[in-house]
């Protein structure tokens, strides 16, 4: 069996209404284009989803990571969907497309990308997470819990095939360098870095023999653009079971609606709410930030699914808690720590306001 590559490529190419959700015509447009590519044999299979105003293209193919053909396909879909968005005057049409010129790879052009190439196992359960109103560092906490915390993942303790631990690849987004740290040996070092989730982002997690377990989209669109364009609203792919965390161990970290950056104007801390697909439409104060989980079994490259993994009663309490936390922290209004610290506001619209104040200082 040839290797299969899972590419999740996403962009905000226009919101409906405001930044809250996705117009059905956009989804249909993307599905038709991918169906054509599937018919031609360019790709093996696909699923089109969304979280809030972010269009998520989930694609399987045999062309490997960073394949020009697949990236071009996704790029053309985003450009085409932008045209649909413009016709409907959807909000922020083409928001994440930073360039007119495609040059072989969507990285650096605005869209987020998470890709992994796998040797398909006898059974291959994969969870794909998509978020809205937050940033790539928001996967740090759950990845740590899934792959390094025995209070979350009992498999680390009792499954001999997990007992050796994992390796985390961490990206320093400001200096564009990567470090690999092993758990459990280097877990404190790992936490020194990834606890600062705006600076250090977990890019991938491997088994110690190199087998890929998880990848994220670490792109920071505002850093790329050098100005505030929008939030990066990341995606993540996690393989599950048989020597990797069980599906339930991968979902468990989201039972705690931990705090993430993003929300209104990309400028606030707020609780990360796990929701069913139909609830992936952030409205209150443009939020609170949300995450959905697409569950698939991969069969000879075909995506069997998705199952809507957070459409489960057992996440009700997390959602209630998230609403309580949202209510509480909202009462701080424009004050920190609801508002991000000044250092993290650099790529928001705030510096323009500060600039105007400059002359008033004596």
Q: Which stretch binds ligand F6R (CB under 6 A): 237-245, 264-272, 291-299, 350-358?
A: 264-272
Stretch 61-100 residues interacting with Mg ion (CB under 5 A): 92
Q: How many CB atoms lie under 10 A from the CB of residue 84?
A: 18
Stretch 217-236 residues interacting with Mg ion (CB under 5 A): 233
Beta bridge partners of 51: 54
Stretch 258-287 residues interacting with Mg ion (CB under 5 A): none
Stretch 125-164 residues interacting with ligand F6R (CB under 6 A): 133
Q: Binding of ligand F6R at residue 264 (CB under 6 A)? A: yes
208 given a catalytic annotation:
no
Q: Side-chain half-sphere of 269: how many Cα atoms within 13 Å?
A: 19
- Any idea of the CA torsion for 315, 317, 323, 329, to the nearest 10 degrees? -110
Q: Which stretch binds ligand F6R (CB under 6 A): 167-175, 207-215, 262-270, 325-333?
A: 262-270
The active-site residue, picked from 12, 56, 232, 233, is 12
Q: How many CB atoms lie under 10 A from the CB of residue 307?
A: 15
Q: Binding of ligand F6R at residue 203 (CB under 6 A)? A: no
Q: Which stretch binds Mg ion (CB under 5 A): 12-20, 65-73, 283-291, 329-337?
A: 12-20
Q: Binding of ligand F6R at residue 50 (CB under 6 A)? A: no
Burial of residue 107, with CB atoms counted within 10 A of its CB: 0-12 exposed, 13-18 middle, 19 or more buried: middle
Q: Binding of ligand F6R at residue 231 (CB under 6 A)? A: yes
Q: Binding of ligand F6R at residue 230 (CB under 6 A)? A: yes
Question: Distance (Å, rounded) from C-alpha 97 to C-alpha 112?
Answer: 11
- In the complex, residue closest to ligand F6R by CB: 286
Helix (H, G, I), strand (E, B) or coil at 182: strand
Beta bridge partners of 297: 125, 304
**Binding partner of residue 54 among ligand F6R, Mg ion, none, CB under 5 to 8 Å per kind?**
Mg ion
99 phi, psi to nearest 5 deg: -135, 160
231 given a catalytic annotation:
yes
Q: Side-chain half-sphere of 270: how many Cα atoms within 13 Å?
A: 34
Question: Distance (Å, rounded) from C-alpha 297 to C-alpha 264?
Answer: 35
Count the residues of the shown chain that bind ligand F6R, applying the rule CB under 6 A.
Answer: 11
* Contact criterion met (CB below 8 Å) for 342 and 335: no
Q: Which stretch binds Mg ion (CB under 5 A): 38-46, 52-60, 138-146, 207-215?
A: 52-60
**H helices within 166-251, ranges in order?**
187-194, 221-225, 247-251
The active-site residue, picked from 10, 145, 220, 231, is 231
Interacting residues with ligand F6R (CB under 6 A):
18-19, 92, 133, 230-231, 262, 264-266, 286
Interacting residues with Mg ion (CB under 5 A):
12, 15, 19, 52-54, 92, 132, 233
Catalytic residue IDs: 12, 228, 231
């Amino acid at each position: 069996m040839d290797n299969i590559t899972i590419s999740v490529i996403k962009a905000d190419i226009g919101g409906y209404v405001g930044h809250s959700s996705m117009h059905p015509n956009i989804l249909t447009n993307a599905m038709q284009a991918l169906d054509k590519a599937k018919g031609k044999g360019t790709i093996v299979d696909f699923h089109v989803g969304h979280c809030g105003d972010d269009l998520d293209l989930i694609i399987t193919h045999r062309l490997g990571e960073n394949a020009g053909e697949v990236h071009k396909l996704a790029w053309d879909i985003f450009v085409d969907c932008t045209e649909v968005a413009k016709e409907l005057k959807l909000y922020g049409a083409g928001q994440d497309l930073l360039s007119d010129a495609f040059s072989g790879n969507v990285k650096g052009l605005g869209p987020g990308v998470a890709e992994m190439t796998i040797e398909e196992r006898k059974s291959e359960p994969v969870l794909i997470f998509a978020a809205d109103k937050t940033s790539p560092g928001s996967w740090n906490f759950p990845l740590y819990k899934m792959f390094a915390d025995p209070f979350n993942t009992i498999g680390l303790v009792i499954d001999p095939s997990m007992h050796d631990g994992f390796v985390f690849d961490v990206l320093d987004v400001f200096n564009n360098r990567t470090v690999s740290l092993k758990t459990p040996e280097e877990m404190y070092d790992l936490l020194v870095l990834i606890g600062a989730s705006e600076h250090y982002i977990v890019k991938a997690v491997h088994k110690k023999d190199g087998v890929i377990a998880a990848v994220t989209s670490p792109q920071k669109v505002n850093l790329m653009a050098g100005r505030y364009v929008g939030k990066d609203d990341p995606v993540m792919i996690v393989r599950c079971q048989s020597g990797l965390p069980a599906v339930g161990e991968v979902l468990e970290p989201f039972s705690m609606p931990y705090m993430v950056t993003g929300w209104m104007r990309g400028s606030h801390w707020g609780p990360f709410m796990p929701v069913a697909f139909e609830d992936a439409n952030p409205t209150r104060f443009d939020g609170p930030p949300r995450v959905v989980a697409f569950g698939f079994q991969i069969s000879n490259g075909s995506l069997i699914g998705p199952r809507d993994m957070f459409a489960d009663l057992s996440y009700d309490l997390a959602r209630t808690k998230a609403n309580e936390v949202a209510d509480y922290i909202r009462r701080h209004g424009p004050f920190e720590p609801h508002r991000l610290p000044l250092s993290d506001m650099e790529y928001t619209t705030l510096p323009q306001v500060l600039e105007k104040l400059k002359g008033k200082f004596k």
